[in-house]
Structure 1
Amino acid sequence: MRYRFNAFGRIIAVERVDDAWDTYLMGNEGKRRPAGFAVPSDVTHCRFELSHA
């Protein structure tokens, strides 16, 4: 499951991999690189869906 957010003009992708969340900065050309911050593994996907509303 992957979520995308616009944070201060930067596109951030958050993806669930096994029991952890990976965060990426998305480039204009579609490439991604590590975002350099962590999302706690106990955060559920419901929390991300609420932030999209």
Structure 2
Amino acid sequence: MIARQGDALQSHSSHSRAIAGGSGSVFIEEKPAARTGDAVNCGSVVIGGGSVNIG
């Protein structure tokens, strides 16, 4: 699965969440590619697998 800055994530019970961070050099449909460790707008970070490396 590929995710981008601004893409929605599964909501917490009280609010929606979206990816807030992204790559400065890799873009998918003109949006920064999200990577493991990038920020989420609720204060969390993106969790992902290690089989694909970008940026």
**Normalising by structure 1, what TM-score?**
0.38
Normalized per residue, the structure richer in strand is 1
Structure with higher RCO (Cα < 8 A, 6+ apart): 2
